[in-house]
Amino acid sequence: MSGAPVVTCTGLTKNFGQVTAVQDVTFTVSPGRIVGLLGRNGAGKTTTLRMLLGLTAATAGRATVFGHHYAELPHAAHRIGVSMDGIGTLPGLSGRRDLRIWARMLGLPAHRADEVLEQVGLGDRADHKANGYSTGMKQRHALASALLADPELLILDEPANGLDPDGIRWLRTFLRSLAEEGRTVLISSHLLAEVEQTVDDVVVIQRSLRYSGSLHDLTCGGEIRLEDRFFELVDVATTEESAHA
């Protein structure tokens, strides 16, 4: 699918005091693609997503969605659905009640909450307390929340955490169906084997950018495992960082 990039990060850098969490990261996300943002724990994945969403101010560089900073994008909460730590359910509410409150805040009809709960397979648990959900159910509920406004772009931070094998398989098929509808999905993950079966494109960071491009090119059309290529890239990055320490 052609068109202007949905996400553009240019020279994105974030320092926390004397510690550089993200350094000079540049990549784009094209429409209708599923893109995996990969890196070790502490590599800067979540920080990058937070800068993209305006939750953390960049030290340098620029991050835009649909050509705008998130805070300046008209109807941003309708165009972009987000699932990440820090965006949780309201205490003591059922899954349905929680989503109906969010729907009202977004100016959406109450029945939209029921629709997305069915989409993610929680229709029969909609009236259970959300804080009593299993980890996998909480992930499905977070995805339902991200889908409320029928967004063009989904940004999902570790969406497969806590899902059982059936849930992971369901998520893979579900995300592919969203991309086939023309939506764009940006996911951070450390589950390399699953990412390899899910994404079109890959962005690898280890504080700085190590790779940005198609999964096909990175793995030579599947001849090389994503896991092997990933460790080649991040191990080089770690060696370079140690040499400059």
Domain residue ranges of the chain, discontinuous segments joined by +: 1-66+153-245, 85-151
pLDDT at 243: 47
Ordered mean pLDDT values, 10 residues apiece, the chain (245 residues): 85 96 97 96 93 96 97 96 80 92 96 96 94 91 95 94 89 93 94 92 96 97 95 77 50
DSSP string, 180-199: HTT-EEEEEES-HHHHHHH-
Burial of 242: CB neighbours in 10 Å, binned 0-12, 13-18, 19+:
exposed
How far is it, in rounded angstroms, from Cα 21 to Cα 12? Answer: 10
What Cα–Cα distance (Å) separates residue 5 from each residue in 28, 83, 85?
A: 6, 21, 26
pLDDT at 191: 87
First to last CA, the chain: 42
Q: DSSP 3-state assignment of 156?
A: strand
State which fold the 1-66+153-245 domain adopts.
Rossmann fold (3.40.50)
- Find how far residue 100's CA is from the centre of its chain: 23
pLDDT at 237: 57
pLDDT at 24: 97
Sequence-ordered alpha helix ranges (H) in 14-94:
45-52, 76-79
